[in-house]
Chains A and B, each alone.
Chain A
Amino acid sequence: MREIRYLKAVSETIEAEMEKDPSIFYMGEDVRYALKGIPRGFIDKFGPERIIDTPISEAGFVGIATGAAVQGMRPIVEFQISMFCFLAYDEIVNQAQKMYYMSGAQMKVPVTYIVPLNFGSIAGQHSDSPHSFMMHGLIKTIMPSNGYDAKGLVLSAIRDDDPVIVFLPAGITGRKGEVPEEQYTIPIGVGEIKREGSDITVVATGRLVPKALEAAENLAKEGISLEVYDPRTLFPFDKPLLKKSVQKTGKAIIMDDSTRTCGFAAEVAAFLSDECFATLKAPVKRITRADVPVPFSLALEKLVVPEGVKELTEAVYDILKK
């Protein structure tokens, strides 16, 4: 099968769906020039009516997307920097998400938010991981860890009748992988076991999935068998699949870039305590972003944001008391 970059997989599924469905438009800052690499060349094909550059007005244009969605459009909204979605938190969580419910199922808001994540020496206001905020707002939240998953999940997001937020993890969106040319969907809420194993279940998200696979490969040489579970959708994450895995291994490590407090890992740990307590043979471990802003110096960042392989390997040794 052909190999293409992760970001190209996202781009081509949006492009193909836009050709098919005239109700889709793509909106955001500097999207005509595809600053974030997604709607490359779209402006020539779809014109400024459907590839809409916005002023710096996050709350305003997210609200506009909601209004357009209520009137039958399927907007795709790109945030140039992931933290900018905080500017539109009310518009996403308090308006777009609640509209269907509050209206007694009369107003649908089929919007897709595309949020490229950032990391590495850009610090504070440019290096956050807002996905747990969106989960807290009960927004369907997706974080694909490779191009194949991204292509299928982004298409599901576009076709979903609710607001869906897609986080594209920095650091892996340039990676190449096998992606079919034809359009396909991966259902929202369905996870995948990326590597089967028997000793410990590792829950990893986004950029940390390849890290978990790398650690698993290394540890296999020592006779340690890790099972890597990629939820792909963070809200709602695939509980039956996770439960099955932890029932088999009896141990779990959760690795995610959102904060320790109320982060994705905290939610998964709570679920394991609720549903898998009897089968757990060790305390559930969490590897997360520390509860401080991301510092600028890489010398500091390495103690705040997990590198992935290192922390996971240490956690595995700790659980197995090696």
Chain B
Amino acid sequence: MIENFDKEKCLDIYRLLKMSRRFEQKTLELGGQGEILGSLHVGVGQEAVHVGIALALKKGDIAFRTHRDSGQMVAEGIEPKYLFAELMGKINGYCKGLGGSMHLPGISGVLGVNVPMASGAALAFKIRNEKRVAVGQYGDGASNLGPLHEAMNMAAIWKLPAVFICENNGYAVTTSIKYSSLLKNLSDRGKAWGIPGETVDGMDVMAVYKAASRLIERARSGEGPAILECKTYRFEDHSKSTANLVLSYRSKDEIAEWMEKDPISRWSGRLLNEKICTQDEIDKIDETVEKDIEEAVEFAKNSPLPEPEDAFKYMYATKIEGIPQKGW
């Protein structure tokens, strides 16, 4: 047992961590092969945050994530085959090929504005008297965006059932948070809105889970929102395209130091140390994950492309004659 998790659940946490990572790594691989077009912002290294949040959410809760959190969608139980298909622009994609990696439901490619979205969902829950919680995720970079601050203030004054989770991976593309904020801990910003703020080790899935879970339950009980900062790191570059530029904003030593804290080997190491499972059992999970990922990729590859006319099918939920217009 670790916390309230029995052996089976502990192994499942390992599976989710691995699944999130392999999903993200696979997208990069497929990107390199030209199977996935456009940009990719992978969360490799940030799995403890993604799985920790996914574990803390209860049925009916909702997370508004960033474009680096597709791995979290996998951990939340969304089938990777539909995500791969979306990233390949296929008709069976999660958004029928209309969104792509930066615009999956609950993800905004305009970073930070999913905090107002999450606050709005929380407002809906509160008005309807539902015991649900909305999580709004953002990075250290988006922590400086105006609408994010506006929404956190409103969530605070209205005591909305929301938790704001900052995935502080240290960099907004190339800009260090040490440059763009004087604060050591971004959770201190909670003081500005009169709400609690906590900082945890974002490379430790249990630490994230415990803090997120406590703050989510606090919000559910009507005590209002809180900020949880998870200090983490992205092992890959900002995006597929910035990786090609080979920029030197992070030192090799720094990257190596954070990779020592790898959230997956840390969790498996703990399971082995505490004799919760054997290496064999972990290897078996790795095999299953590989198989699941391969099957999902196969599904996506075999999916048909949308018909070009589909570009005009889903513009409005309430249809009106004459719109949308075509361009020629």
Which residues of A are in contact with B by a Cβ distance under 8 Å?
A: 25, 49-50, 52, 54-55, 57, 59-73, 90-91, 94-95, 98, 100-110, 138, 140, 160-162, 188-189, 235-236, 239
Q: Which residues of B contact A94 (CB under 8 A)?
A: 110
Q: Which residues of A contact B97 (CB under 8 A)?
A: 104
Q: Could you tell me the distance in whole angstroms from the C-beta of A77 to the nearest C-beta in chain B?
A: 11
Q: Could you tell me the distance in whole angstroms from the C-beta of A90 to the nearest C-beta in chain B?
A: 6
Confirm or deny: B94 has a beta carbon within 8 angstroms of a beta carbon on chain A: yes
Q: Which residues of A contact B127 (CB under 8 A)?
A: 25, 49-50, 68, 73
Q: Which residues of A contact B62 (CB under 8 A)?
A: 71
Q: Are B105 and A103 in contact (CB under 8 A)?
A: yes
Q: Which residues of B contact A95 (CB under 8 A)?
A: 108, 110, 113, 117
CA gap between A54 and B241 in the complex, in Å: 40
Q: Which residue of A lies closest to B322 (CB)?
A: A236
Q: Are A66 and B317 in contact (CB under 8 A)?
A: no
Confirm or deny: B277 has a beta carbon within 8 angstroms of a beta carbon on chain A: no
Confirm or deny: B88 has a beta carbon within 8 angstroms of a beta carbon on chain A: no
Please report which residues of chain B, range 80-128, place their CB below 8 angstroms from some CB of chain A when the two chains form the complex: 93-99, 103-105, 108, 110, 113, 115-127
CA gap between A68 and B161 in the complex, in Å: 13
CA gap between A125 and B320 in the complex, in Å: 33
Not counting A64-B119, A67-B120, A106-B105, a sample of 15 additional A-B residue pairs whose C-beta atoms are within 8 angstroms of each other reads A57-B153, A60-B119, A61-B154, A64-B123, A66-B116, A67-B118, A67-B119, A72-B124, A73-B124, A91-B116, A103-B98, A105-B317, A106-B95, A161-B316, A161-B318
Q: Which residues of A contact B315 (CB under 8 A)?
A: 100-101, 138
A-B contact pairs, 7 of them (CB 8 A): A55-B157, A60-B150, A64-B154, A67-B116, A67-B120, A67-B123, A102-B99
Q: Are B314 and A104 in contact (CB under 8 A)?
A: yes
Top 3 A-B residue pairs of the complex, sorted by shortest distance between their CB atoms: A67-B120, A63-B116, A60-B150
Q: Are B318 and A160 in contact (CB under 8 A)?
A: yes
Contact A63 to B95, CB < 8 A, known contacts A70-B121, A71-B124, A100-B314: no
Contact A102 to B121, CB < 8 A, known contacts A91-B113, A239-B322: no
CA gap between A140 and B314 in the complex, in Å: 15
Q: Which residues of B contact A57 (CB under 8 A)?
A: 147, 150-151, 153-154
Q: Are A107 and B318 in contact (CB under 8 A)?
A: no
Q: Which residues of A contact B104 (CB under 8 A)?
A: 103
CA gap between A161 and B317 in the complex, in Å: 6
Q: Are A67 and B121 in contact (CB under 8 A)?
A: yes
Q: Could you tell me the distance in whole angstroms from the C-beta of B201 to the nearest C-beta in chain A?
A: 29
CA gap between A65 and B151 in the complex, in Å: 11
Q: Are B95 and A140 in contact (CB under 8 A)?
A: no
Q: Which residue of A lies closest to B158 (CB)?
A: A52
A67 touches which one: B94, B117, B146, B324 (CB < 8 A)?
A: B117
Contact A189 to B322, CB < 8 A, known contacts A103-B105, A104-B94: yes
Q: Which residues of B contact A103 (CB under 8 A)?
A: 95, 98-99, 103-105
Q: Are A138 and B324 in contact (CB under 8 A)?
A: yes
Q: Are A188 and B320 in contact (CB under 8 A)?
A: yes
Q: Are B103 and A64 in contact (CB under 8 A)?
A: no
Q: Are B113 and A162 in contact (CB under 8 A)?
A: no
Interface size on B, residues (CB 8 A): 49
Which residues of B are in contact with A by a Cβ distance under 8 Å?
A: 62, 64, 93-99, 103-105, 108, 110, 113, 115-127, 134, 146-147, 149-151, 153-154, 157-158, 313-318, 320-324
Q: Are B320 and A108 in contact (CB under 8 A)?
A: no
CA gap between A306 and B125 in the complex, in Å: 47
Q: Which residues of A contact B154 (CB under 8 A)?
A: 54-55, 57, 60-61, 64
CA gap between A72 and B124 in the complex, in Å: 8
Q: Which residues of B contact A60 (CB under 8 A)?
A: 116, 119, 146-147, 149-151, 153-154
Q: Which residues of A contact B126 (CB under 8 A)?
A: 49
Most buried by B among A94, A104, A189: A104
CA gap between A80 and B71 in the complex, in Å: 41
Contact A64 to B316, CB < 8 A, known contacts A55-B153, A57-B154: no
CA gap between A70 and B63 in the complex, in Å: 13
Q: Which residues of B contact A138 (CB under 8 A)?
A: 315, 323-324
CA gap between A98 and B316 in the complex, in Å: 9
Q: Which residues of A contact B125 (CB under 8 A)?
A: 71
CA gap between A173 and B62 in the complex, in Å: 41
Contact A65 to B120, CB < 8 A, known contacts A55-B154, A71-B125: yes
B147 touches which one: A63, A161, A235, A236 (CB < 8 A)?
A: A63
Contact A91 to B147, CB < 8 A, known contacts A55-B154, A69-B120, A73-B124: yes
